[in-house]
Amino acid sequence: MAEVLLSIGYDTEKPYGELARTAEGSAMRREQIRFDKRLIEELDSLGAPRTFFMLGDYLQVAAREYSHDELRAVYNPCNPLSDIQSHTYSHCVVRNISGRDDKKPLTVEDFEADLIMANKCLKDILGVDVSGLRMPLGYDSDFSDMPGILGVLRRQGFVYVSSNLREKGAIRSTVTTKRQPHTYEHVGFPDLAEIPSHGWADAIFTEDYCKRYGHRKIGSLGARDHYVSLISLAKDLSVKHEQDIYVSLCLHPWAVREFDSDFGVHRAIVSHLRNVGGKIITYSDVSNRIKRLLGSSTAASQNNEIPIQA
């Protein structure tokens, strides 16, 4: 039977850049790391597989104040529920994004150097070899028109990228039978998958972003209703079209800390998903699964999917 497959990605990044290197950044980081530990313990108690997309710069500055062992104890790369991947080194972009003139696109060469630096940080500090990438900010289209970028990803050992994260002019996107993970086979990269995200990027549930985008405050209840309705919509689509429907969320620990400090929204998401017979898998599982379905030779041979516990 067709089912709903939810993957939850946490873009783990703040503080980074100049702020990260100040006393204020240091205090912010301590609070955030304390919260991340609680978040991961909560996900463990919910039996929820998850993907943490770690920013190299965030991790590197954190490693000045925390030992590698301390950071590994928090982000827990050996936990079977845990999938740790890259969010680039510097939070860079490779296209212009309307409304974000502060972000200048990197050249293909500089982008590759940025990814190499991030991979090294993740390997040195957390001991992980990454194969998945979440693009910072994200775009309203995928990378089908950017073979140079896809070439970099292949060269650096990536098997999936999550780059299509928004609609024109909004940090959200809907779930449809078309807006689903796929490979880049049509442009010559059959071993590379795109995993688009669905729903609002959770930053919108924070006060700062509400102001920036001129929204009224949405808050925890609004967030809960949003994610629950997204899962209901996916369930309806899976029944109507007899097709598995993937829902991939774009969350941020720094935003979760504000809109879901007691994890009520997380519990509601997991409980509703369970009610509709859905399953939580990691982004890496999504990538492996769609390639297996398409018969790709590079899909991981073993199935790491862990069904959500009843």
> Minimum distance from CB of 137 to Zn ion (Å)?
7
> Minimum distance from CB of 135 to Zn ion (Å)?
8
> Minimum distance from CB of 16 to Zn ion (Å)?
9
Regarding 191 and contact with Zn ion (CB under 5 A), the answer is: no
At residue 90, φ and ψ (nearest 5 deg) are -110, 10
For residue 65, what are the contacts with CB-CB under 8 A and spacing of at least 6? 26, 29, 30
Which CB atom, from 54 or from 280, has the smaller least distance to Zn ion? 54
Regarding 13 and contact with Zn ion (CB under 5 A), the answer is: yes
Site string for Zn ion, 38-77 (x = CB under 5 A): ----------------------------------------
Which CB atom, from 136 or from 199, has the smaller least distance to Zn ion? 136
By CB under 5 A, what part of segment 72-101 binds Zn ion? Answer: none
Length, in residues, of the chain: 310
Which CB atom, from 11 or from 258, has the smaller least distance to Zn ion? 11
> Minimum distance from CB of 307 to Zn ion (Å)?
29
> Minimum distance from CB of 271 to Zn ion (Å)?
28
**116, burial (CB in 10 Å: exposed 0-12, middle 13-18, buried 19+):** middle
Tokens of 229: 């309705």
Among 9, 132, 136, 138, binds Zn ion (CB under 5 A): 136
Helices within the chain (DSSP H only): 17-20, 23-45, 56-62, 68-75, 108-121, 147-155, 207-212, 219-241, 253-259, 264-275, 283-294
Binding range to Zn ion, per CB under 5 A, among 77-85, 104-112, 133-141, 242-250:
133-141
* Cα gap 49→144, rounded to integer Å: 29
Contact yes or no for 224/172 (Cβ under 8 A): no
* Cα gap 81→87, rounded to integer Å: 19
* Cα gap 290→310, rounded to integer Å: 25
Which CB atom, from 32 or from 183, has the smaller least distance to Zn ion? 32
> Minimum distance from CB of 13 to Zn ion (Å)?
5
Which CB atom, from 198 or from 272, has the smaller least distance to Zn ion? 198
Q: Helix, strand or coil for residue 207?
A: helix
> Minimum distance from CB of 149 to Zn ion (Å)?
17
Among 5, 7, 10, 11, binds Zn ion (CB under 5 A): 11
Of all residues in the shown chain, the one whose CB is closest to Zn ion is: 11
Q: Among 293, 282, 96, which residue's Cα sits nearest to residue 195?
A: 282
For binding to Zn ion (CB under 5 A), which residues are involved? 11, 13, 136
